Structure 1
């Protein structure tokens, strides 16, 4: 494991071979810290959103307003997590940082100075990580006005959707998530 500021860091779960500003479909799951049920509850196979759940839903649907190159497909807020399919419809930074990031990774140049290293590991503008960071930040800002203890998990899960069959299965899973809540 790598260290940052002399502390061990869990390696990234992101595909090292993929540039996350690439056009494509991404299945995203973002959980609350310790899976606390800040967003509401499921009853009669339907999600009943709390105030924080309503904020999470509102800001989720607003993602394309802030990132015009993004389309939001399936989306659901559950008691302790959200699922969404995000499509990056066109790369906002064509032929840019992908080559630079790959070069820095191969040569190790990004590791020499702290500001350069932080720039290298920070989410790149237009990337999936920057979209999710913005969403989590907006929800957190207003959710903490309702409950100061609101927190997200520090990371999120992503899956690159590679074909129509996977897209259909994942969309159905997201849409049916409230109906299947008590099965898990």
Structure 2
């Protein structure tokens, strides 16, 4: 079968068309494991028990502001096959008071939600490949919701914190053996 150059070969984006994802604000992020395998621990009696990989996930998440100083973290939970977290992008933490005499070279660190998630996924994947038999850690992409107001922020915080208790009814709940690949 010949390739048709007029055919769009890219997947449809799940991002809000035209939205600037470097814009200040809070974002609810969900990142799932590849094939929704339970890689990060297990839930017993409504409580998440992290394995070594799950503990590494927490460390990588908590280090996001080290790599992205314009980011503040809020509620977060590691589940057996996904993570939920709230990321808030602030305005530039230390804006320059006057223009520099010489142009500043780009640092290479984009301030978008996509670059934050990409950095997190790379850090976790690198550790997993070096310390476990797991090669494919994450599904392609991630889910995000732009948090529009304080009541919504509070509802999402509550959802995240109660996620382990409500695991059996979670849409991401999958019965699969504990993955020890």
Gaps of 5+ in 2: 96-107, 171-181
Say yes or no: does 1:87 pair with 2:72. no
Q: How do 1:108-119 residues align onto structure 2 when only pairs under 5 Å count? A: none
Say yes or no: does 1:39 pair with 2:40. yes
Say yes or no: does 1:131 pair with 2:116. yes
Which structure shows the higher helix fraction?
A: 1
What is the CA-CA distance between 1:124 and the residue it aligns to? 7.3
- Please name the residue that 2:18 is paired with: 17
Say yes or no: does 1:171 pair with 2:172. no
Gaps of 5+ in 1: 95-122
> Deviations for 1:78-125, whole angstroms, at most 9, x for unmatched residues?
000000000001158x9xxxxxxxxxxxxxxxxxxxxxxxxxxxx971
What is the TM-score normalised by the length of structure 2? 0.78
Greater radius of gyration (CA): 2
Could you tell me how far apart the structure 2 residues matched to 1:8 and 1:59 are? Answer: 33
> Deviations for 1:151-177, whole angstroms, at most 9, x for unmatched residues?
201100000000111101100000100
Say yes or no: does 1:155 pair with 2:156. no
The number of residue pairs the alignment matches comes to 152
- The answer as to whether partners of 2:125 and 2:135 remain within 8 angstroms in 1 is no
What is the TM-score normalised by the length of structure 1? 0.77
Mark the CA change 1:67 to 1:124 in structure 2 (over 3 Å): closer, same or farther: closer
What is the CA-CA distance between 1:144 and the residue it aligns to? 1.4
Say yes or no: does 1:50 pair with 2:51. yes
Could you tell me how far apart the structure 2 residues matched to 1:143 and 1:18 are? Answer: 33
> Deviations for 1:6-40, whole angstroms, at most 9, x for unmatched residues?
77332111111210000000000000011000011
What secondary structure, in the 3-state scheme, does the structure 1 residue paired with 2:54 have?
A: helix
Could you tell me how far apart the structure 2 residues matched to 1:150 and 1:40 are? Answer: 17
What secondary structure, in the 3-state scheme, does the structure 1 residue paired with 2:38 have?
A: coil
- The answer as to whether partners of 2:75 and 2:85 remain within 8 angstroms in 1 is yes
